Amino acid sequence: MMQKFHCDPDLPSWLRLTVVYFAVVLSDRLLIKGGRIINDDQSFYADVYLEDGLIKQIGENLIVPGGVKTIEANGRMVIPGGIDVNTYLQKPSQGMTAADDFFQGTRAALAGGTTMIIDHVVPEPGSSLLTSFEKWHEAADTKSCCDYSLHVDITSWYDGVREELEVLVQDKGVNSFQVYMAYKDLYQMSDSQLYEAFTFLKGLGAVILVHAENGDLIAQEQKRILEMGITGPEGHALSRPEELEAEAVFRAITIAGRINCPVYITKVMSKSAADIITLARKKGPLVFGEPIAASLGTDGTHYWSKNWAKAAAFVTSPPLSPDPTTPDYLTSLLACGDLQVTGSGHCPYSTAQKAVGKDNFTLIPEGVNGIEERMTVVWDKAVATGKMDENQFVAITSTNAAKIFNLYPRKGRIAVGSDADVVIWDPDKVKTITAKSHKSAVEYNIFEGMECHGSPLVVISQGKIVFEDGNINVNKGVGRFIPRKPFPEYLYQRVRIRNKVSGLQGVPRGMYDGPVYEVPATPKYATPAPSAKSSPSKHQPPPIRNLHQSNFSLSGAQIDDNNPRRTGHRIVAPPGGRSNITSLG
């Protein structure tokens, strides 16, 4: 941009310096003229002036410094840059790393109109969350081309994890953590652990993300399907039917409901999982659902492709539903607000990497592309079909995510003071998605051949133009880590009130002073007696003598141990008559 400000050599030297200085500053200033601003709540015509990476002014006939670079929007839409809250740009799998790193991934994101990502830190089970976080932070700081933030996945619930979580929330700017209900013996948590984790994370004011699939059943199904001799990618879909996804969603919501904490379901891939979320929201739990570009733009029929490489390219978990009506259904739920956010789950592997599982579908590294295609796919499926308007589009691609993850209104809105992450969107542009032209490093694209309406024309990140006229111009490492505070109002305001109104109280009663059955010390009876066996009553095995309860306080072998004790010891009329408190009435 500097080149545009050639200094006249005839000018006095002091003036020349001033112009150069001015030009350096000016490179950070941009005026978007004649655009229609689209926020999640309203649309209006106005000019936008950006300076120092922030939106400084919005209105008509703005007074701006002279010589500011001006972009003529010609009535096109000016929308907040997309936020992709679900990416894995450094996910390791069997010693391989996803093909797109932070540089390639964020470059692709920017090309598609996404100006911020929230990436998942995936610590190796057993390793420290903090260390892994630092590793990701460092990699992203040196490579990322757009602003980013990080979720931390809790891959194991170990001693000391609580302290680390506290540090991450309080000092590191992380407010969202993912737990896994699948990947048995690797990442999977038991329900008790989930309960513990949810309780703790709620106390920290974090957002709880859940990978919802029933890992126990998946392990069983994988075994069965491999035994049947099915080894191709179709086995992936067959071993993870949508019922298992729906079941886990149901369970996650139940646990969260008990604790009164918000829960966010990542990767809603099937109708039944989406339905569970919808139903739960009607009953009150704070639950949010995120379909991804893949579940909105394509379907799982490709797992049965004769081309192994193509079929393998679709392998992700939960799998794409083979039901071709799924994308349409999920889009409708996004339109009506039952689902709130769209992510991408971007984590592609090259065909050679996928081929590690050529003889066993359980070894195929999981992940699909979508970071670049997300905005376009959503526009095409949702807005171009008339299901939602442009404001709702902004909400589900940017604003809702910013609110849930506590970035709002810094991100997710065109407003004075917000970050200058802005996209000029052309709803009429038609683009065919293909691996030949995409920015990802992999040789396939799961949306290959899809013709999409709606595409970004200009993308501005941190106040700088990074994409214009189809040319991408990014700088490695300029992306900043955006710390996020805990207790996002959007979720926790309701939690706080619910906490207040749902206090539990016991019933004040007089002391029970009636007869108490003496629990036998050891259940050895001469004859099978009707008391020790029977019924899942909680107190039975092992029937330890409670010395406090029993007035029979000797322990050890007793002189009458050889006499069978009376078991069905019934005291209908206790000595001294029935006391009032025990009688029914």
Shortest gap between Cβ of 420 and another protein (angstroms)?
A: 32
Q: Restricting to residues 435-474, which ones interact with another protein according to CB under 8 A?
A: 435, 441, 443-444, 448
Among 217, 420, 422, 460, binds another protein (CB under 8 A): 217
Complex with another protein: residue 96 or 384, whichever CB lies closer: 96
Report the alpha-carbon angle 295-298-300, nearest 5: 80
Distance, CA of 151 to CA of 209 (rounded, Å): 9
Shortest gap between Cβ of 174 and another protein (angstroms)?
A: 19
Shortest gap between Cβ of 299 and another protein (angstroms)?
A: 16
| CA nearest to 273, candidates 294, 249, 296, 257 | 249
Among 415, 480, 515, 522, binds another protein (CB under 8 A): 515
Q: Encoding tokens for residue 221?
A: 């199904």
Complex with another protein: residue 65 or 574, whichever CB lies closer: 574
- Tell me: does residue 228 bind another protein (CB under 8 A): yes
- Tell me: does residue 526 bind another protein (CB under 8 A): no
Distance, CA of 128 to CA of 383 (rounded, Å): 43
- Tell me: does residue 221 bind another protein (CB under 8 A): yes
| CA nearest to 156, candidates 179, 130, 177 | 179
Three-state SS string over 118-164 comes to: EEEECCCCCCCHHHHHHHHHHHHHHHCCCEEEEEEECCCCCCCHHHH
Instruction: Tell me which DSSP letter residue 507 carries.
Output: P
Complex with another protein: residue 6 or 538, whichever CB lies closer: 538
Contact 268, 293 (CB under 8 A): no
Q: State the DSSP H helix or E strand holding residue 13, giving kind and residue range, or none if neither.
A: helix 13-26
Segment interacting with another protein (CB under 8 A) among 166-174, 290-298, 304-312, 378-386? 304-312
Backbone angles phi, psi at 374, to 5 degrees: -50, -55
Among 227, 509, 526, 562, binds another protein (CB under 8 A): 509
Shortest gap between Cβ of 175 and another protein (angstroms)?
A: 22
- Tell me: does residue 482 bind another protein (CB under 8 A): no
- Tell me: does residue 243 bind another protein (CB under 8 A): yes
- Tell me: does residue 218 bind another protein (CB under 8 A): yes
Segment interacting with another protein (CB under 8 A) among 184-192, 401-409, 417-425, 485-493? 184-192
Q: Restricting to residues 191-210, which ones interact with another protein according to CB under 8 A?
A: 191-192, 194-196
Counting residues that bind another protein (by CB under 8 A) gives 127
- Tell me: does residue 255 bind another protein (CB under 8 A): yes
Shortest gap between Cβ of 150 and another protein (angstroms)?
A: 15
Q: Restricting to residues 40-69, which ones interact with another protein according to CB under 8 A?
A: none
- Cα–Cα distances (Å) from 259 to 170, 200, 254, 255, 287, in that order, read 22, 10, 9, 7, 13
Among 504, 553, 563, 577, binds another protein (CB under 8 A): 504
Q: Restricting to residues 552-581, which ones interact with another protein according to CB under 8 A?
A: 567-572, 574, 581
- Tell me: does residue 309 bind another protein (CB under 8 A): yes
Distance, CA of 456 to CA of 393 (rounded, Å): 14
- Tell me: does residue 171 bind another protein (CB under 8 A): no
| CA nearest to 372, candidates 419, 431, 324 | 431
- Tell me: does residue 257 bind another protein (CB under 8 A): yes
Q: Restricting to residues 68-127, which ones interact with another protein according to CB under 8 A?
A: 88, 90-97, 99, 122-125, 127
Among 241, 291, 297, 486, binds another protein (CB under 8 A): 241
Shortest gap between Cβ of 496 and another protein (angstroms)?
A: 19
Cis peptide before 542 (omega within 30 of 0): yes
- Tell me: does residue 549 bind another protein (CB under 8 A): yes
- Tell me: does residue 350 bind another protein (CB under 8 A): yes
Among 9, 542, 556, 577, binds another protein (CB under 8 A): 542
- Phi-psi region for residue 84, left (φ > 0), alpha (ψ -120 to 50) or beta? beta
> Which amino acid would we find at residue 81?
G
- Concatenate the DSSP letters of all residues of 256-294 into one string: HHHHT--EEE----SHHHHHHHHHHHHH---EEE--BHH
Ordered alpha helix ranges (H), 366-421: 374-378, 390-394, 400-404
Please provide the distance, in angstroms rounded to a whole number, between the alpha carbons at the two ends of the chain. Answer: 89
Report the alpha-carbon angle 18-20-22, nearest 5: 65
DSSP β-bridge partners for residue 57: 49
- Tell me: does residue 235 bind another protein (CB under 8 A): yes
How far is C-alpha 386 from the geometric centre of its chain's CA atoms? 27
Q: Restricting to residues 371-410, which ones interact with another protein according to CB under 8 A?
A: none
**Per-residue mark of binding to another protein, 128-147 (x: CB under 8 A):** -------x---x--------
- Tell me: does residue 499 bind another protein (CB under 8 A): no
Among 40, 147, 366, 372, binds another protein (CB under 8 A): 366
Complex with another protein: residue 124 or 489, whichever CB lies closer: 124
